[in-house]
């Protein structure tokens, strides 16, 4: 190898090592610098600034420049001109390739502290109040929900929540008292939060610090009563503190008692809604009785005998019930009775007048009932709304129809059940439109046989309709064996086979068809 070739080869190797940079593991002399104005973690390798005035060049630098320039000049020549250089051509190609690689390489790539598979973190907390992102600074958190301090407000009153105790419903926050006022049940009678049940001494000592809060029972659950139809909520204590309850619709009187329930003088009270349609004397009951008889005739169940109907007080009805030997009596209170024995009964002769919250001027007259047929009379408790009085009359009139038509020795479940069905159907005819009623399978075989009812004449109010639905609800959900189970069995048979076929089956077998 000639001295010139050997010198060129050594120079090329040195230049390649210089341009390719340090080997792996070898320390670098360049120091990383943080770029001005960048955020946290933005670390960059900054390229050193080149001085404006170049220093004097020595002989070695001039040799390096010539060594770089000559291969570059050879690289731009056509391929046929490079082949004549012989053994130096390979070395020149390596040098040219190294120089080009060095020019394409970017040694100033910014430093990324996060691996490629992991995205750089951004703000991920969203305020539950304003729904905007929560940046750096103070914030509140509870159960995975975050708020700006100025956004932590009560959903109900809109004021800031500064107390250490608060209530969280979903993402909505409330003051403890605001949540109580908004969501905790209140007694519909005393208009206060439901009162606690009477606790024993050990329980009272454990709960005596809880004041003006929703009470809980021994199991930690809120305890209150609610009417199954009206939904009226009330404290359990009102069942024992003699709070007046309507004897018709069973609603409790609301306190404070601005409008007290009407006292009927026999321990019963009547709310103002039920008082508006109450039937108070015997003469007032007669038109209702005749309309029910017409309803029976429309069902092809004509009554040939005239049965006396009397409106009586509670005491007179109880006395007549004690002397009547046949059939069970509806508890806890009997409101009607079909008599089959001779008796003297005190009936209400004239409607009493209203004085304050009680009835005044009631006149009664003793009336002797003579037995002319299987039925002596029908007695109904006075002071009940028209629809309830009519449903009692329909029930008792069915007792009379069965006895007059020769249905003998029926058990209580069969007789009371079919009588309750007639009471239910009459109520249904009063409160349902005629088109809906005629579609019922329990109707008569001919829908045109129905007499005109008050609902068809437009004479029933919205309050009256709700009362009728309540009375139907009472019949359908009665828990007694004779009146409740008997009705449900009889109603199922009437819906399946019709009223006429059900009655024929009762006459033949003494029971309901299956």
The string of pLDDT tens digits covering residues 398-452 is 999 999 999 988 999 999 999 999 999 999 999 986 545 444 444 443 333 444 4
Lowest mean pLDDT among 34-43, 242-251, 337-346: 34-43
DSSP-assigned letter for residue 236: G
pLDDT of residue 415: 95
Please, which residues have CB within 8 angstroms of residue 10's CB and are 6 or more apart in sequence? none
Greatest mean pLDDT range, 23-27, 191-195, 492-496? 492-496
Q: Please state, in angstroms and rounded to a whole number, the distance separating the CA atoms of residues 443 and 447.
A: 7
- Give the 3-state secondary structure of residue 14: helix
Q: Please state, in angstroms and rounded to a whole number, the distance separating the CA atoms of residues 416 and 351.
A: 31
pLDDT of residue 428: 95
Beta bridge partners of 353: 360
Q: Please state, in angstroms and rounded to a whole number, the distance separating the CA atoms of residues 301 and 444.
A: 10
**Has residue 391 got a pLDDT over 90?**
yes
**Has residue 86 got a pLDDT over 70?**
no
- Burial, 302: exposed, middle or buried (Cβ in 10 Å; 0-12, 13-18, 19+)? exposed
pLDDT of residue 465: 93
The more confidently predicted of residues 194 and 486 is 486
pLDDT of residue 237: 84
* CA triple 425-428-434, angle to 5 deg: 115
Lowest mean pLDDT among 197-211, 334-348, 463-477: 197-211
pLDDT of residue 143: 77
Please, which residues have CB within 8 angstroms of residue 155's CB and are 6 or more apart in sequence? 169, 172, 173, 174, 178
**Has residue 495 got a pLDDT over 90?**
yes
pLDDT of residue 511: 94
Which band of pLDDT confidence, cut at 50, 70 and 90, is reported for residue 215? low
The more confidently predicted of residues 87 and 295 is 295
CB 257 within 8 A of CB 238: no
- Give the 3-state secondary structure of residue 255: coil
DSSP-assigned letter for residue 252: B
Average pLDDT, the chain: 75
Average pLDDT over residues 464-479: 94
Greatest mean pLDDT range, 63-67, 169-173, 442-446, 509-513? 509-513
Nearest C-alpha neighbor of 293 from the set 146, 149, 396, 155: 396
Q: What is the torsion angle, in degrees rounded to the nearest 10, for the CA atoms of residue 478, residue 480, residue 485 and residue 487?
A: -50
Token match 């048979």: residue?
493
Residue percentage of the chain with pLDDT more than 70: 64
Q: Calculate the CA 184 to chain-centre distance.
A: 14
Which band of pLDDT confidence, cut at 50, 70 and 90, is reported for residue 258? low
The more confidently predicted of residues 42 and 388 is 388
174's enclosing H/E stretch is strand 172-175
Q: Please state, in angstroms and rounded to a whole number, the distance separating the CA atoms of residues 144 and 10.
A: 68
CB 369 within 8 A of CB 344: yes
| Beta pairing class for 262-263 and 140-142 | unpaired
Nearest C-alpha neighbor of 430 from the set 466, 382, 378, 483: 466
């Amino acid at each position: 190898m000639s001295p010139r070739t050997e010198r060129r080869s050594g120079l090329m190797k040195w230049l390649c090592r210089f341009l390719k940079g340090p080997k792996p593991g070898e320390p670098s002399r360049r120091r990383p610098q943080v770029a001005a104005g960048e955020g946290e973690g933005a670390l960059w390798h900054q390229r050193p600034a080149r001085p404006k005035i170049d220093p004097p060049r020595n002989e070695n630098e001039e040799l390096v420049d010539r060594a770089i320039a000559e291969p570059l000049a050879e690289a731009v020549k056509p391929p046929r001109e490079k082949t004549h250089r012989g053994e130096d051509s390979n070395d020149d190609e390596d040098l040219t390739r190294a120089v080009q690689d060095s020019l394409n390489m970017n040694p100033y790539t910014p430093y990324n502290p996060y691996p490629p598979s992991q995205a750089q973190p951004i703000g991920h907390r969203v305020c539950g109040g304003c729904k905007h992102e929560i940046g750096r600074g103070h914030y509140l958190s509870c159960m995975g929900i975050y708020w700006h301090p100025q956004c932590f407000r009560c959903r109900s009153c809109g004021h800031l929540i500064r107390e250490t105790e608060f209530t969280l419903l979903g993402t909505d926050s409330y003051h403890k008292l605001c949540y109580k006022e908004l969501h905790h049940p209140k007694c519909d009678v005393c208009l206060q939060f439901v009162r606690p049940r009477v606790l024993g001494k050990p329980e009272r000592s454990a709960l005596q610090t809880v004041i003006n809060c929703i009470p809980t029972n021994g199991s930690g659950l809120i305890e209150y009563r609610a009417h199954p139809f009206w939904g009226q909520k009330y404290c359990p204590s009102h069942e024992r503190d003699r709070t007046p309850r309507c004897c018709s619709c069973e609603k409790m009187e609301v306190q404070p008692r601005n409008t007290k329930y009407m006292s009927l003088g026999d321990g019963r009270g009547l709310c103002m809604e039920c008082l508006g349609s109450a039937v108070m004397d015997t003469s007032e009951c007669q038109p209702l009785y005749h309309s029910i008889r017409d309803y029976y005739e429309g069902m092809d169940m004509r009554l040939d005998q005239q049965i006396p109907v009397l409106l009586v007080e509670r005491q007179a009805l109880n006395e007549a019930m004690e002397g009547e030997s046949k059939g069970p009596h509806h508890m806890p209170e009997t409101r009607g009775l079909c008599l089959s024995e001779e008796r003297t009964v005190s009936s209400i002769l004239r409607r009493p007048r209203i004085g304050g919250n009680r009835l005044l001027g009631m006149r009664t007259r003793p009336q002797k009932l003579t037995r002319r047929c299987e039925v002596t009379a029908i007695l109904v408790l006075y002071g009940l709304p028209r629809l309830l009085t009519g449903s009692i009359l329909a029930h008792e009139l069915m007792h009379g129809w069965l006895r007059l038509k020769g249905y003998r020795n029926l058990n209580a479940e069969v007789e009371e059940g079919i009588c309750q069905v007639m009471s239910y159907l009459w109520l249904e005819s009063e409160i349902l439109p005629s088109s809906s009623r005629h579609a019922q399978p329990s109707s008569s075989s001919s829908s045109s046989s129905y007499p005109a009812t008050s609902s068809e004449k437009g004479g029933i109010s919205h309050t009256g309709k709700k009362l009728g639905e309540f009375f139907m609800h009472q019949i359908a959900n009665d828990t007694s064996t004779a009146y409740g189970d008997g009705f449900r069995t009889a109603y199922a048979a009437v819906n399946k086979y019709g009223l006429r076929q059900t009655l024929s089956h009762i006459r033949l077998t003494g029971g309901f068809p299956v």
